Structure 1
């Protein structure tokens, strides 16, 4: 069966991408909880990877979405209440994914770019099978196993020490090990042992495990270690965390040392000296996959030299020096029973295919994305033909595609099986939730509800975002409770501020709330206490929780660090508003001219149009400076700036925000490093850096508590200028800003 190539996400409009992005985010959150905490995944690895890669692809194609990509920052799930907690000294992070040979080449290029290595300079990697099991950390002190912990959420894991001691592959004591040695690896179950375990359970009429990974995870996470003892668990060691002394100078050498200490390490691990060798080893392992006797779902590549790993460091949830090259997924055919329209937080109408359930790669799929009305018609966002121009109709026999680049979607239609009564699908022009007009603006692929705050779908989704884990995270106030309160006539919650007035509106010792089904004196008291606890909240969380379009967790933290208080941020946005409007006016004029530009003369006219639009507004200098300061914050830019400006300029939204802020005690962010000589300073890098790459320089500055900006302004404290600095250096000189060369900058931070 021929595989259908996925649509390039960069062909989608911003609104279309946003709608799909939010759906994926919810799916990933639920899947993480089911997989890491409940040992009951409803997606297999291929489907999860498909969803996450599409999610990441959208974030990368649309920079504004990347700021909101909270699931890219998540690792695992919180620990279960049934176990004690162990804080990981070194976080247990996840891995980035590659799905095609080109992704591996991109990984190699990104490493070289970060380290400043040319394509001809030597760079070695290890390649090893990626075991499909449960991650485990083992801590040895003076050669004795003292504790074992699951990954948990990456920072805190479950204490499963008693259970780990029952696994034969895990030594209780080590000879010749460093004084402190934290081993990391994967607990798994072989195919043979899994079949025997299920056979024993079947004989006793017990519950059967769905697959070896679930069996291994469930066995390790038993509250009774004696149950774990009789389960046939195994362990591969492949990494380490906290160490008193290094194991070796290379990844391969360290793995060899682990084997010498008595740990099982994978014999298929190999050192590769090129992308071609890495891919060749991937093909070799893939060919042996069915005969290994245990489950793997890809191959992991790691930079071999440990000094280079240290230089490369980590992103928020993944190391820069490693990536997992995943195996491809599958295709399946089924009937399309219905097309439902969902309304997202931004009002976007998103079509979802309801399918006769079909098993694809061991997972039952009953829903698939249809993206937008153009996709249903057999067109992409630019009007080009896809699927040979075949439209999608209710009743069709459709192909479901779950390869690494996309979530489950309808990829093809078999017209020979189309029912005679099947009719072309008519996309609604009114919102199915509130009946408001659903408008599709020119050049936009998404149709959007105009109801705003009167649309329950938008209001509820905004509230759910407000109380989400990385926003206000109010215990006891989740999606179900919000839906109940939203429709409540006595104690409604329609906006975030309603949460904080709930207790005042329920006078008489919770008499209204405690009489509802599922609520009593204690649960009502707990909820009000949880709400009051979150009156004290960091500024970054407040900004993120507002759900302003394009403003994700990272952007919110950057804004909080830059402005320090809500009052300063709001004042800056009010001051910058005229310049923001001028920027939009100029951009629209430029875009119209760009479509017709075909020569240098036309491009010159574009510039004149843009400059004219700005000058005609006769903006005050302070307004211009406020706007430039806002969009000059590294990672913010004009898209986020305009979105923030629009949100606070909307009278209804501003009133809700003002009322909310009045209920809170908002804490200013603390600098990452209070002892650093550059903590709290705004730094701009320009020109060519010769002793470190720009990414390294930025990461280092931020780790020392500095704020890194992309443009020079009066608020800039230091300009680090390499050769070819150009206009930024000239502007810094005019403003009297301190200018350092690269050596001067390194000397400045040398003490740290």
Structure 2
């Protein structure tokens, strides 16, 4: 294929794939199968690999960006992204309508009502029809450039049908189905689940690695125009229609309302219907439709006078609290949970609600068999709001937390300055099970196939009791378990065996030593290098290390003094687990190394190395790679488009290398 033939073929493939993408993600009306789409995408990628100079910004292959960023650049919004004033009831809405009519000297006003999507406000800028920048709202005046992450949202067009400069605004969000799948995966990996879809969406779009954002299945609705010099439309409703014609995904539920009474009817309808849609909304946005009227009304310092947001009241429900269940976590903390008669709240059936701790139960005087009011905090997490005391049986006794652990019957204690009751028995079955779930999680030993449900099954069947038991599992006993076929068992045993080679910091974090997180585990492993050295460390040895405080040091010493811990460590060593830190060691690095003892910062786009590869090779030669330039920085490696970090490095007289020089030095060290 000649370059001219490739160019023509790529134009055809881009046009077809972008159209398929629009039909699937915007219109929700796919016209080709996934197989056909994937086939054309593969053809496009193969031609682009052969002719990289022909790759265009609007190519579907560019939806997942390249290397992770150091940080997001700041973006100044030419037209401020102001927040809206709030209305909470009908009276507030009528006051807003009165102010609008007085400001326009009009008896009647037409409004547009739109669903208020619970997500992250963003701005998209197009030049010559191409997406050139995407940014967060930030403080309304200054946001962050998240273009690479926004390109991963397939309902955002990379090219539109208007070549005039235009900036549009919208709300990026995570659909409920994607949110549930993400949290299931996070919990299976031992990670903290997101509290709600909004936090999940915001966290996804602020990932420095766009490949992570691409996996999060985000979506967007465009609802406004920011800067648009060539715009000639007269109403907001016409703009919404035009945005859809350009290829943007707009929310189909908007409605023109003839006066405030129709606005109130629209709101009343959505108060009842909000649970029936596949994404979260937290209110209704009301805007004056006529754009000249908007201009006439103007703005306050914080918000437009021509728009307001009606906020839904938190949905509450009344039910019976039938029991209080106690669970024991990995660290021994006993957490009470309300067991409820099933009741529907904010679209889902609720049967459990956290009561947090004994003090909260006493403060709200919650008793078993009480009639209680519940709501979902942030429309996600069920909580008991209050007791309906008028409906209480006078014979109900106040609830008291037990003195014994519900799992092992050991005495519960309340440690100094702690609210929670805690079981301190190291052999408590509940703690052992939770500890095993933590041990196999992603940030710890990262054993594929050992999710929470599998651990619970193994524990229930008596096949595992301690961490060491995981490494004694045998094929025959695993094959007897439900949903454990030959292939699953083979993969699981292989993953367990491979985990033995993990570097020491993974094992340290997996052991679940109190106060020792993944970062502290790496610091300890890098400093002491072997498990044996760490076991011998004194309190003074530990507190001498940066980032290791008195409380953590005391916890580490107490942990390794325990006879059962000593026995466990001995067992793990016999079973073949690696007790050595495999990361870069200061002792292995020559004092003559160009990076020995130096603090290095990487910035800009690297072409020769990936950022992670450069970091690992520098650290292997004794360097410390950090994310920001300061007086302590010795060296800056500057790739293409190096920005503020390069400027700051020059001001501080920091030595600056380009990537070619970095390559020469690294190759020289490896010869």
Which structure has the higher relative contact order (CA within 8 Å, separation 6+)? Answer: 1
Bigger Rg, which one:
2
With normalisation by structure 1, the TM-score equals 0.44
With normalisation by structure 2, the TM-score equals 0.48
